[in-house]
Homo-oligomer: A and B are copies of this chain.
């Protein structure tokens, strides 16, 4: 049963697992993915053939060490890589499409909790994720505080801001304004709203990078237009036969995204993001969901992230402090914007290693004091 009251049955939950579950089932790290991420965190992506999106941090000997921990990554509810979502076929043989009920971050987390129940895992050693993945981490602790020993929300926020919502709304208008969307029933027409989805991705991609990163990476460099002026398209495609490199890059980002992502899933997940507001159930009190919570937190933000700026993480850290939660907050100096959490950032890796080691020692010491944790309701 979802927050909206609708039922998705049967419920498919697709996930990847790495490492070995300990006999005590106490070594589980849940990695939560972002808006356009998926469960292929540490293995080659089946569609793109690219390496897993966090292979840098998840694997044998890595910060999230699969030789020590059993690592799970779950495709979010509403997504398009195997978990129930708009592309899933219903019993009548048709995809759900836009009839797929609206989902929330809370719904995503509850679906993951059901998977853990199914696997007989009572408690997570840690929940870790960036961006929307960080929202899931926060929601995990808010919904199931007794099931999470350590939480690491990265480059995220306790709610989606007006600017975040505004950008998402432009994405949705681009997708739904594409006539190939066909009111969401594009499979009936053998189309996908490729242009709208590409525009949505291009715009979102700008918000993932800092101005500085764009300047360094592309500046005002130009190249010959690979698709030179044809008929009347000149002013759109090129200028004096040249295009800027940043344009070429964005076009590539847009078109390659369309090949791997479902438009209706994008709509569904972007709505879940917009609707996220941890304090909404508590009259705006952001400390309330974390009172009496024993989860240890490590919050990470990046200086040049303007999509989920440090101020949002600071707000969260203060609320956790007020709730008496054990929290550390690390702002990492980086000029790569929001995407920094996916990139080679040594400080991120160091912080993650240190936090996991610290919690592990503490948990080992206190394990004998608090045995026999049972399943959460």
Residues of B within 8 A of A211 (CB): 161-163, 306, 309
Taken together as a complex, chains A and B put the C-alpha atoms of A183 and B179 apart, in Å, by 16
Most buried by B among A166, A231, A267: A166
Contact, CB under 8 Å: B178 / A247: no
Give the residues in chain B near A72, CB-CB below 8 Å: none
Chain A's interface size range is: 35 or more
Interface string of A206-239 (1 = CB under 8 A from B): 1001010011011110000000000111111101
Interface string of A98-110 (1 = CB under 8 A from B): 1110100000000
Chain B nearest CB from A165 CB (Å) reads 5
**Is B97 within 8 A of A160, CB to CB?**
no
Minimum distance in angstroms from A256 CB to a CB of chain B:
14
The CA of A376 and the CA of B267, in the complex, are separated in Å by 57
What are the residues of chain B within 8 A of A99 when measuring CB–CB?
Answer: 232, 234
Among A160, A170, A174, max chain B CB count under 10 A is at A170
Closest CB-CB distance, A23 to chain B, in whole Å? 43
A139 to B214, CA, bound (A): 25
Stretch at the interface among A49-57, A196-204, A294-302, A363-371: A196-204
A173 to B278, CA, bound (A): 36
A123 to B217: give the CA distance in the assembly, Å. Answer: 42
A246 interface contact, C-beta 8 A: yes
User: A166 to B246, alpha carbons, bound, how many Å?
Assistant: 6
Determine how close the nearest CB of chain B comes to the CB of A4; give it in whole angstroms.
6
Asked if residues A102 and B236 are in contact (CB atoms below 8 Å), the reply is no
Contacts of A21 in B (CB 8 A): none
Q: Which of chain B's residues have a CB closer than 8 A to the CB of A235?
A: 86, 98, 100, 102, 184, 264, 267-268, 271
Proximity bits, A327-369, B CB within 8 Å = 1, else 0: 0000000000000000000000000000000000000000000
Taking A99-B234, A172-B236, A220-B277 as given, write out 7 further A-B residue pairs in contact, using a Cβ cutoff of 8 Å, ordered by the A residue number. A102-B234, A163-B214, A170-B250, A173-B251, A176-B237, A177-B198, A239-B271
A residues near B (Cβ < 8 Å) are: 4, 86, 97-100, 102, 159-163, 165-167, 169-170, 172-179, 183-185, 195-196, 198-199, 202-203, 206, 209, 211, 214-215, 217-220, 231-237, 239-240, 244, 246-247, 250-251, 254, 264, 267-268, 271, 274-275, 277, 306, 309
